[in-house]
Amino acid sequence: MIKSDIDQEIVLPKSVIIIGGGLAGCEAAWQLSKRGIPVSLFEMKPEVFSPAHKTEHLAELVCSNSLRSNAIENAVGLLKEEMRTMGSLIMEAADATSVPAGRALAVDRNLFSLFIENKLSSSDNVEIIRREVTQIPDDSTVIIATGPLTSDAMAESISTLTGSEYLYFYDAISPIIYEESLDYTKVFKASRYDDTVKGDYINCPLTVEEYESFWRELLDGEEVSLRDFEDRKCFEGCLPIEVIARRGIKTLSFGPMKPVGLVDPRTGKQPHAVIQLRQENREATLFNMVGFQTKLTWPEQKRIFRTIPGLEGAEFARYGSIHRNTFLNSPALLENTLQLRSHRNIFFCGQVTGVEGYVESAASGLLAGISACHHLSKKVLSIPPRETALGALIHHIARKDLKHFQPMNINFGLFSPLPHKIRKRERGRHYAERSLKELGGWKDNLN
């Protein structure tokens, strides 16, 4: 409480402490600030950097610059549309800083981060504090959004608080190549199944012989050595390219190197395999190797990837790398409001909860911000129904009957089933129509 000039007590909204300035933390801060709740947003950079972060900005994208499909018939595209409906800062930033990526939503990562940072900095309700937090305050409403690369000190504090051992897995990021180093006599531009416009992706086609030679090089490539106490637990949706290769000679050509929907204009035929490069920035000077996350050593990446047609002279702006991602056993610890069951003033959001992906992380931050607002106002929050993407995501990470919890991207398998059998190609549209209708009702009730 403070006193005014006429000596009357004025009750101010209680502030919320948010630890972590990634996508989830920034989204939570925005949801609270626009509801009039003061926020202290703590970000450890530039005082402390994780092994993967390179810039001082908030909401730094450390892996791909793609937020994946933008079509609402796709689960992640639907999740993005729901977030737009809920006034998401992350989606506003992504739409404002997008770069060509076919049917996907990709962003200029620097402009994206700056957009978010500027929006939060200009809010009267947000204070950004550049300092590492090593202990969790026990007398405040706190949102922990420290991400999969939580610092050692904070990880120890969370472990002490929850009394639970961490699970962990390994996540790898893809290399980025300078556009000017590509050989355009060997590559072609195209998007899958799109022959009406010039494609957004640069495609490196391989013959059977070139593909099999590349596959053998991956098998023999030298990898970064892990420390003695670490083992290899990789998230299935983000496996290193060499791990996929070990599953068989055809695995890559049916996975990240699949050629379907692409025709090489020089031959008029579909290549045996294709490596796609996605635009990384608006100036189109940088391109990301799609699906080529790796734990090969840097010299091996340069040697092996330069055997790809069109990449013989490739110059790398960033090599792929590997880092440990840490996440909670959320079903055992969290309510569906993202509150810690043992300490209801503490909320978790982002990839530390076990959601996987940029969009999913931001979505959990959106819900954590709304939940914290209801907690402060002592109102009961009804979570979004499981017919929505937001509700399906929360149900997955907080369902008490889940015995073997693993990180998960949003997918229609997490939703409540459709009431009737529908042809596969039409299911996405039916899920989307039902979801947006249900979300509208939930939002009206929330307001």
* Residue ranges making up the domain that contains 141: 12-166+328-446
Least confident of 237-246, 363-372, 434-443: 237-246
User: Which residue among 294, 324, 354 closes a domain?
Assistant: 324
pTM equals: 0.81
Give 1's pLDDT tier (boundaries 50, 70, 90).
very low
Judge if 319 and 371 occupy the same domain.
Answer: no
Domain count, the chain: 2
Pairing type for strands 39-43 and 16-19 reads parallel
Asked if the peptide bond before residue 46 counts as cis, ω within 30 degrees of 0, the response is: yes
Q: What is the pLDDT of residues 397-436, one digit of tens each?
A: 998 776 678 788 899 989 999 988 888 889 999 999 999 9
Q: What is the pLDDT of residues 374-391, one digit of tens each?
A: 999 998 888 999 999 999
Helix (H, G, I), strand (E, B) or coil at 213: helix
Judge if 428 and 319 occupy the same domain.
Answer: no
With respect to residue 135, please indicate whether it lies within any of the assigned structural domains.
Answer: yes
Contact by Cβ (8 Å): 395, 414: yes
Residue 151 has pLDDT above 60, yes or no: yes
Q: Which residue has the higher pLDDT, 2 or 39?
A: 39
Judge if 115 and 224 occupy the same domain.
Answer: no
With respect to residue 6, please indicate whether it lies within any of the assigned structural domains.
Answer: no
Nearest to 406 by CA among 325, 348, 341: 325
Give 7's pLDDT tier (boundaries 50, 70, 90).
very low
User: Which residue among 258, 289, 324 closes a domain?
Assistant: 324
Instruction: Provide the residue type at 18 as one letter.
Output: I
Q: What is the pLDDT of residues 72-106, one digit of tens each?
A: 999 999 999 999 999 999 999 999 999 999 999 99
Q: What CATH number corresponds to the domain at position 60?
A: 3.50.50.60
Judge if 103 and 215 occupy the same domain.
Answer: no
Judge if 153 and 190 occupy the same domain.
Answer: no
Judge if 190 and 286 occupy the same domain.
Answer: yes
With respect to residue 7, please indicate whether it lies within any of the assigned structural domains.
Answer: no
With respect to residue 16, please indicate whether it lies within any of the assigned structural domains.
Answer: yes
Judge if 312 and 264 occupy the same domain.
Answer: yes
Contact by Cβ (8 Å): 63, 98: no
With respect to residue 3, please indicate whether it lies within any of the assigned structural domains.
Answer: no
With respect to residue 289, please indicate whether it lies within any of the assigned structural domains.
Answer: yes
With respect to residue 4, please indicate whether it lies within any of the assigned structural domains.
Answer: no
pLDDT given at position 148: 85
Judge if 185 and 45 occupy the same domain.
Answer: no
What CA–CA distance (Å, rounded) separates 259 from 273? 5
Judge if 123 and 151 occupy the same domain.
Answer: yes
Portion of the chain with pLDDT greater than 70, in percent? 91
User: Which residue among 296, 324, 352 closes a domain?
Assistant: 324
Q: Which residues pair with 104 in a beta bridge?
A: 69
Judge if 278 and 411 occupy the same domain.
Answer: no
pLDDT given at position 317: 86
Residue 228 has pLDDT above 50, yes or no: no
Judge if 182 and 147 occupy the same domain.
Answer: no
Q: What CATH number corresponds to the domain at position 290?
A: 2.40.30.260
Judge if 52 and 87 occupy the same domain.
Answer: yes
C-alpha distance across the termini of the chain, in Å: 27
Q: What is the pLDDT of residues 265-313, one digit of tens each?
A: 999 999 999 999 999 888 888 899 999 999 999 999 999 999 999 999 9
Q: Which residue has the higher pLDDT, 402 or 331?
A: 331
With respect to residue 122, please indicate whether it lies within any of the assigned structural domains.
Answer: yes
Residue 13 has pLDDT above 70, yes or no: no
Residue 168 has pLDDT above 50, yes or no: yes
- The DSSP string of 15-71 is PEEEE--SHHHHHHHHHHHTTT--EEEEE-TTTS--SS--SSSSS---S-SEEEE--
